[in-house]
Amino acid sequence: MANHLRFVGRTVMVQNGNVEAAYGVLNRILAQDGVAEAVRRSRYYEKPSRARRRRAFEACRRVYCGEMGRRIAFLARSSRQDPWLGC
C-alpha cells in the first residue's frame, strides 16, 4: 500500500517537528485534489436538480478555462513573429 502512487502523492513528511508546515502542505494537496470540497458537498443533501446545475457549471468552467489557457499560451509564446515589423 505504501508504494501506491496516490498514497505516495498524498504523503507529507514532517521535518524538524514542524507539524504546522506539514499540515499546511497536506491541506494544499487535498485542496488541489478536490477532497475538501467533496467532503463539504457530501455533508448535506444536494437536490438532483442542483447537482445537475453544479455539474454543468463545472463542465462549462473547465471548457472555458481550458480554451482561455490555450489562447493565452498562443499569445504568450516566445517564437512568434512580430506582427508590426515596420512600426
70 alpha carbon, distance to own chain's centre: 17
Q: Is residue 2 part of a domain?
A: no
Query: What's at 1, amino acid-wise?
Result: M
d(CA 36, CA 23): 14
pLDDT value at residue 71? 93
Residue with cell 453544479: 54
Q: Is residue 4 part of a domain?
A: no
d(CA 9, CA 22): 14
Q: Is residue 84 part of a domain?
A: no
pLDDT value at residue 60? 98
* Nearest partner of 36 among 45, 26, 46, judged by Cα: 26
Q: Is residue 85 part of a domain?
A: no
pLDDT value at residue 2? 53
Residue-number span of the structural domain to which 66 is assigned: 46-79
pLDDT value at residue 50? 95
Q: Please identify every stretch of the chain with a pLDDT value under 70, giving residue numbers as ranges.
A: 1-9
pLDDT value at residue 79? 80
- The grid coordinates of residue 47 equal 437536490
pTM of the model as a whole: 0.57
pLDDT value at residue 56? 97
pLDDT value at residue 76? 86
